[in-house]
Chain A
Amino acid sequence: MMEQAVAAFVQEARDLLTGLEDQILELEGGSTPGQIDEVFRILHTVKGSGGMFGYTDLAKFTHCFENAFELVRSGTLAVGPDLIELSLEARDLMVEFLDIGSDGPDSAALLASDRSAKLMARIEEITGGSGNALAPGAAEGAGGPAAGPAPMTRFEITFRPHKDALRNGMRPELLVRELEDLGETDIGFDLSQTPALSALEPGDACLGWHVDVMSDCGRSAIDDVFIFADEAALTISEEVLEPAAETGGSDLADAGSPAAGAKPAAPSQSPAAGRASESIRVASSRMDAMMDSLGELVIAQARLDAVSDSIGDTNLASVVEEVQRLVTGLRDATLSIRLLPIETVFSKFRRVVRDLSKELGKDVQLVAEGGDTEVDKTVIDRIGDPLAHLVRNAIDHGLETGEQRSAAGKNPRGTVRMSARQEGSEVLISVEDNGRGLDRDAIRAKAIEKGLLDEATDLSESEYYNLIFQPGFSTAAQLSSVSGRGVGMDAVRSMIDALGGSVDVVSRPGLGSRITLRLPVTMAIIEGLRVRLGESIYVIPLSTVEECVEMSAADMESRSGRMVLQIRDQMVPYLALDEIFGQPHSGQETRRVVIVRINGNEIGLVVDDIIGQGQTVIKSLSPYHRDIPGLGGATILGDGRVALILDVATLVRLALKRGGPTLSKAA
């Protein structure tokens, strides 16, 4: 139980620290009291629950950091570039504390390390040394708007944790200890609700506390101690012992803390509590298990369909249809649970862009649009690296330096735009810069040098741009300094291929470039077209299929030399799948061609027959088969057989390479 609570804390702390990074970066553009409060709230939450769940080293460090924002909140300290820089570093260190795990030699070492010592020293420098003590409470008093300390006050606190509090990981003794740190305390127990020994449940919290605290720390410090004791019965009354300005109260009002006076179940309306009721956190392993079961259900349903068809009973058929409808509904509902807003990925790049623009001395603005577009969790998990490549390239090679931009009559501040939108069953994610654009001539020169292109041939604009995804270009460091792009672009493409997506490049010289990733919304179950090739069944993702046409042996005969097919007024290159897959030719008279389209390129895939369409549960291939060109995965058919799913993007490239008259053989 406790372990779960700790795991929940770590997860929540990670989320909070991610949010913290955003908040800090927001501060760069100017701060509002609301933002400062939010930063403070996050720090305070991490400190408080960190201490409660055995991350006291993290809590100690955070405390120091929190002091700085306490000063900002009170208006004593202004937000400047120094503080933002420092805050980002401190945040990173907090993440490291989380990574290390709960208190132990490692976390102690990190707390004692030069880095954290230096960070804390720099924070103290900014805060004017007022936050030097590590003990909580010492600095809280400095947060009051008045320069002087809060008046010496006697707080009478009664505190009774909720019965389940211990099971939820609460540590009342730590709260009491925190109170002790605030000032002189007189602690008493309330045993009135303690049952007889025979009725005692060891996990229940039965004790209550009466604590009198004599302190000049101010009411907010007391409230802060109990900030996480949401469900506890809590009353706090105060009696000012020394005449002084009423600072504690106004501080409270500023901070939006609960109003002064006795109030049971104090700050339960914190935003976090509000959110908790709207969503639940589920371990992704459970989601995966659910997806697996759903996959099997879909397969079993396909089998049921097949059996029902063979029996031909109308009663059975209507039930099967009903089941089909329900399964489809269940599938859609389950898949939608796996969808997450792409914002979670985009938000990481604010920091990347900021750091990179400092490092490269370029003034860059990041614009993110369509962050609420939802994508499958698998995509979210894997899209980060390719996007990082693209963003890095855009800043490093795409955008010019400030002087160059000014000279070209552009805004010296460059823009990188990340956007996402849904189009049918695909999500389009693009990274766009308003830099110098791709240098076609340099790409051409490089391609010839690399032997990817021969001197005589000329390509269309988009074909040139697509060359940057050739593996040969990935190591082309010199090129990147001339024309931009080229670092790891083949890695980007292979990652996108693995996700069943495609990449598209648009570039205008002097105006910038845009790289668009097209990805399926869901990775787990797709609509597939089943085709037959000899004895084997293959599945083609339906989203790529444009149309199916018949092809007679005569057509094949007359065009065999060129591998191009006339579809109405268009010449379409085609691939005979049996030849690609090294299968014997079936010799069938009339065959069919499935016309597929990716990145605006149409090709035909010649198969023996088209069997039908249906939901296809994608199973990934083992390392033995993962690298075979043209195969994207496997699935289980209604009859229990395994069928392979085609990787249309790779096949299209293969066909264009063969059929396209413009590229040389080497390409």
Chain B
Amino acid sequence: MTATDQSAGDAPRAAQDNHDNLLIFRLEGEAFAVSVKGVHEILDLQSPTVVPNAPACSPGLINVRGVVVPVFDIRHRLGMVSGTEHASSRMIVFENVIDGETGRLAFTADSVEEVHETDLSSLEPIPELGAIWPQACLNGAIRLKDELVVLLNTDALFAPDSVDDVAATRGA
């Protein structure tokens, strides 16, 4: 309830100045961003409890302060090979609406860089190069210090299945 109220309240403001704070993180050297509004906290890596027969996009569970949170494999969803852990790897706990329910999930990033305020009207469509990732998961790109940062569409990114199929067929 509160989440809907909040987003309803945010909508007009976003329309006015179209500014948003983005959390920028890296995967395989590429810079990605999600809106900081959904970010709940950032944790050191934890080893998840493996859920048997789980979908590839969410293989396990972790305990975040007494709350059981599913771990989301963002690499799989984006069609990347599963990566190795780095000393700089972090888990981002993100609050999102999944299947009509507000819930938290955690995903691993190779490193978390910064929070950056961005004018969303400067969002550019993803250039050809970016098409290696499923288009539905991307909102666009912004240019930051001569680098392209890919803004992720968290609703599609964290959807339980649909996009998974797309990724699977692409992989095949």
- Residues B63-82 near A (CB distance < 8 A): 63, 66-70, 72
Q: Mark A575-619, 1 if CB is under 8 A from B, else 0.
A: 000001111000000000000000000000000000000000001
CB < 8 Å neighbour of B51 from A580, A641, A644: A644
Given A622-B103, A624-B160, A628-B53, A642-B62 contact (CB < 8 Å): yes
Q: Min CB distance, A218 to chain B, in Å?
A: 47
Q: Give complex CA distance A559, B61 in Å.
A: 35
Verify if B122 is at the interface (C-beta below 8 Å from A).
Answer: no
Q: Give complex CA distance A131, B93 in Å.
A: 63
Given A623-B99, A624-B160, A636-B66 contact (CB < 8 Å): yes
Q: Is the Cβ of A628 less than 8 Å from the Cβ of B99?
A: no
Q: A450: which B residues are within 8 A, CB to CB?
A: none
Q: B103: which A residues are within 8 A, CB to CB?
A: 622-623
Q: Give complex CA distance A636, B55 in Å.
A: 22
- Residues A538-569 near B (CB distance < 8 A): none
Q: A641: which B residues are within 8 A, CB to CB?
A: 49, 63
CB < 8 Å neighbour of B68 from A292, A536, A623, A634: A634
Q: Min CB distance, B164 to chain A, in Å?
A: 10
Q: Is the Cβ of B54 less than 8 Å from the Cβ of A625?
A: yes
Q: Is the Cβ of B98 less than 8 Å from the Cβ of A582?
A: no
Q: Is the Cβ of A642 less than 8 Å from the Cβ of B49?
A: yes
Verify if B92 is at the interface (C-beta below 8 Å from A).
Answer: no
Q: B12: which A residues are within 8 A, CB to CB?
A: none
Given A582-B53, A642-B49, A296-B98 contact (CB < 8 Å): no
CB < 8 Å neighbour of B105 from A295, A622, A628: A622
Verify if A631 is at the interface (C-beta below 8 Å from B).
Answer: yes
- Determine the residue in chain B with the shortest Cβ distance to A578: B52
Q: Is the Cβ of A624 less than 8 Å from the Cβ of B98?
A: yes
Verify if A341 is at the interface (C-beta below 8 Å from B).
Answer: no
Given A623-B101, A641-B63, A642-B63, A536-B49 contact (CB < 8 Å): yes
Q: Min CB distance, B52 to chain A, in Å?
A: 3
Q: Give complex CA distance A577, B51 in Å.
A: 13
Q: Is the Cβ of A624 less than 8 Å from the Cβ of B49?
A: no
Q: Give complex CA distance A292, B55 in Å.
A: 28
Verify if A299 is at the interface (C-beta below 8 Å from B).
Answer: yes
Verify if B3 is at the interface (C-beta below 8 Å from A).
Answer: no
CB < 8 Å neighbour of A581 from B53, B66, B72, B99: B53
Q: Is the Cβ of A628 less than 8 Å from the Cβ of B52?
A: yes
> Most chain-B Cβ atoms within 10 A of its Cβ — which of A299, A621, A623, A630?
A623
Q: Give complex CA distance A628, B61 in Å.
A: 14
Q: A629: which B residues are within 8 A, CB to CB?
A: 53
Given A295-B66, A634-B68, A636-B68, A624-B58 contact (CB < 8 Å): yes
Q: B101: which A residues are within 8 A, CB to CB?
A: 623
Verify if B23 is at the interface (C-beta below 8 Å from A).
Answer: no
Q: Give complex CA distance A371, B122 in Å.
A: 63
Q: Is the Cβ of A625 less than 8 Å from the Cβ of B49?
A: no
CB < 8 Å neighbour of A622 from B49, B53, B58, B63: B58
Q: Is the Cβ of A628 less than 8 Å from the Cβ of B66?
A: no
> Most chain-B Cβ atoms within 10 A of its Cβ — which of A622, A624, A636?
A624
Q: Min CB distance, A25 to chain B, in Å?
A: 33
- Determine the residue in chain B with the shortest Cβ distance to A292: B66
Q: B62: which A residues are within 8 A, CB to CB?
A: 642
Q: B42: which A residues are within 8 A, CB to CB?
A: none
Q: Is the Cβ of B98 less than 8 Å from the Cβ of A622?
A: yes
Q: A628: which B residues are within 8 A, CB to CB?
A: 51-54
- Residues B96-119 near A (CB distance < 8 A): 98-99, 101, 103, 105
- Determine the residue in chain A with the shortest Cβ distance to B69: A622
Verify if A643 is at the interface (C-beta below 8 Å from B).
Answer: yes
Q: Min CB distance, B47 to chain A, in Å?
A: 9
- Determine the residue in chain B with the shortest Cβ distance to A537: B49
Q: A642: which B residues are within 8 A, CB to CB?
A: 48-49, 61-63, 68
Verify if B50 is at the interface (C-beta below 8 Å from A).
Answer: yes
Q: Give complex CA distance A620, B69 in Å.
A: 10
- Determine the residue in chain B with the shortest Cβ distance to A296: B66
Q: A634: which B residues are within 8 A, CB to CB?
A: 49, 61, 68
Q: Give complex CA distance A296, B63 in Å.
A: 12
Q: Is the Cβ of B52 less than 8 Å from the Cβ of A583?
A: yes
Verify if B57 is at the interface (C-beta below 8 Å from A).
Answer: yes
Given A623-B98, A624-B160, A642-B61, A581-B52 contact (CB < 8 Å): yes
Q: B57: which A residues are within 8 A, CB to CB?
A: 624
- Determine the residue in chain A with the shortest Cβ distance to B53: A628
Verify if A640 is at the interface (C-beta below 8 Å from B).
Answer: yes
- Determine the residue in chain A with the shortest Cβ distance to B158: A624
Q: Is the Cβ of B53 less than 8 Å from the Cβ of A643?
A: no
Q: A636: which B residues are within 8 A, CB to CB?
A: 63, 66, 68
Q: Is the Cβ of A619 less than 8 Å from the Cβ of B53?
A: no
Q: Is the Cβ of A624 less than 8 Å from the Cβ of B55?
A: yes
Q: Min CB distance, B115 to chain A, in Å?
A: 26
Q: Is the Cβ of B51 less than 8 Å from the Cβ of A631?
A: yes
- Determine the residue in chain A with the shortest Cβ distance to B60: A642
Q: Give complex CA distance A581, B68 in Å.
A: 20
Q: Min CB distance, A634 to chain B, in Å?
A: 4
Q: Give complex CA distance A390, B143 in Å.
A: 60
> Most chain-B Cβ atoms within 10 A of its Cβ — which of A296, A628, A634, A642?
A642
- Determine the residue in chain B with the shortest Cβ distance to A623: B99
Q: Is the Cβ of B49 less than 8 Å from the Cβ of A644?
A: yes
Q: Min CB distance, A608 to chain B, in Å?
A: 14
Q: Min CB distance, A633 to chain B, in Å?
A: 9
Q: Is the Cβ of B50 less than 8 Å from the Cβ of A536?
A: yes
CB < 8 Å neighbour of B54 from A299, A580, A624, A635: A624
Q: Min CB distance, A432 to chain B, in Å?
A: 35
Q: B98: which A residues are within 8 A, CB to CB?
A: 622-624
- Determine the residue in chain B with the shortest Cβ distance to A617: B66
Q: Give complex CA distance A631, B98 in Å.
A: 19
Q: Is the Cβ of A582 less than 8 Å from the Cβ of B49?
A: no
Q: A295: which B residues are within 8 A, CB to CB?
A: 66
Q: B68: which A residues are within 8 A, CB to CB?
A: 619, 621, 634-636, 642
Q: Min CB distance, A418 to chain B, in Å?
A: 31
Q: A643: which B residues are within 8 A, CB to CB?
A: 49
Q: Mark A179-211, 1 if CB is under 8 A from B, else 0.
A: 000000000000000000000000000000000
Q: Give complex CA distance A583, B72 in Å.
A: 20
Which 10 residue pairs are nearest across A and B when measured between Cβ atoms? A581-B52, A624-B58, A642-B49, A623-B99, A619-B68, A622-B70, A642-B61, A634-B68, A296-B66, A623-B98
Report which A residues bind B (CB closer than 8 A): 292, 295-296, 299, 536, 580-583, 619, 621-625, 628-631, 634-636, 640-644
List 28 contacting pairs A-B, 8 Å CB cutoff, sorted by A.
Answer: A580-B52, A581-B52, A581-B53, A582-B52, A621-B70, A622-B58, A622-B70, A622-B103, A623-B99, A623-B103, A624-B57, A624-B58, A624-B72, A624-B105, A625-B51, A625-B70, A628-B51, A628-B54, A630-B53, A634-B61, A634-B68, A641-B49, A641-B63, A642-B49, A642-B62, A644-B49, A644-B51, A644-B52
Q: What 11 additional pairs, Cβ within 8 angstroms, besides A624-B54, A634-B68?
A: A582-B52, A582-B53, A619-B68, A622-B70, A623-B98, A624-B55, A624-B72, A636-B63, A636-B66, A642-B48, A643-B49
